[in-house]
Structure 1
Amino acid sequence: MITDPSRHCTVELQALPSRIGQVRRIVSAQLRSWHLEPLIDQAALGVTELLTNVHRHAQPDKSCTVEIELLLERLMVSVHDHDPRLPTVRPPSMSSTSGRGLALIAAVSESWGVRPSGGAGKVVWFTLPAPPFLAVPPSGPVYGATTDGPFALGPVMDLGSRAPSTERSVAVG
């Protein structure tokens, strides 16, 4: 199920390889709708790494929730699973074919972390900086001027108010 208030999107799924690609596409589409195209590659890479960790390591099941939220000038991406074991970053050997996911997330994100989720698993999250003029949902163009003449900055919303939004649901599975 996907819920989509104006600056929040949640996807519930089983972290199976076929579903991970679907979630990448959902995250990419949501970021395009928020006019955050510059963040798509980093967000898709990070969510892929987190979902791969759930697929490979989470017990007793692979069900999880991916959440993306636009918070002023930050995009927060988090994955909640039902396994209470916290991940650890360990240096992989040169011949290792896995074990670099969290290090990769640390390299491409502004910040990241993990926290227990009330005895019912954990949440692993990362943030990406969103330029202020991009980090808003559409509501209409704002115009400005340069030395070369007028230009449109694109859609901007007053961040002080939260416009009413609709909720949509899509089954992934």
Structure 2
Amino acid sequence: MISHPSRHCTVELQALPSRIGQVRRIVSAQLRYWHMDLLIDRAALGVTELLTNVHLHARRDKTCTVAMELLLDRLTVSVHDRDPRLPVVDDAAPLATCGRGLAMVAAMSESWGVRPDDESGKVVWFTLPTTLSAAPPTAPPLASRPPRRLVEEVPAAAFAEVGHGADLGSPQPAPARSAVAG
């Protein structure tokens, strides 16, 4: 017996800059409805990065489908587009303003991946844990925080393993991250 069936939400759209903001609001509202407020920031960031990639890189039309599925222990967010070319994860410079979208998705998610979908497209997805133990830790009070630099450099090696040699059809764990002390 399943005590809480999965919940599913899909939105079809053209990945245009004006629509990406609307989808962020839809994702946020749906997660509030599901009482998953702690996931809103990371889910909205991830879907923004994936839709931006469709807008910037997908050939043919920019029509895509965003799907969210909430299971007992994880949220899966996926974007299906009509371009069969699989994304390439670049080793972008730490302060680059483009080319870091999938690395950001990998860094903030539990797992992510990409798989071909029929002959006409692909699906890029990521998962977030829904359990409280997997939620990001709460920040200590400001007075007890160590001073931090305004801009933190993340070594390029931290993203070197992202997507390389991975089985693109199954979930992959995100790379280990370490905090940079200031």
TM-score (norm 1): 0.71
Q: Residue deviations 1:4-49, cap 9 Å, x none?
A: x971000000000000000000000000000000000000000000
1:12-161, aligned counterparts within 5 Å? Answer: 12-94=12-94, 96-131=96-131
CA RMSD between the two structures: 1.8
Separation in 1, partners of 2:34, 2:13: 22
Higher percent of residues as strand: 1
Higher relative contact order (CA 8 A, sep 6+): 1
Q: Which residue of 1 aligns with 2:147?
A: none
Deviation at 1:96, TM superposition (A): 3.4
| Helix, strand or coil at the partner of 1:10 | strand
2:105 and 2:126 in contact (8 A); partners too:
yes
Deviation at 1:71, TM superposition (A): 1.7
Deviation at 1:97, TM superposition (A): 2.1
Q: Residue deviations 1:82-139, cap 9 Å, x none?
A: 000000111013563200000000000000000000111000000000027xxxxxxx
| Helix, strand or coil at the partner of 1:86 | coil
**Aligned amino acid, residue 34 of structure 1:** W
2:11 and 2:67 in contact (8 A); partners too:
yes
Separation in 2, partners of 1:12, 1:53: 16
- Percent identical residues: 74
User: Which consecutive residues of structure 2, in runs of 5 or more, have no partner in the other structure?
Assistant: 133-182
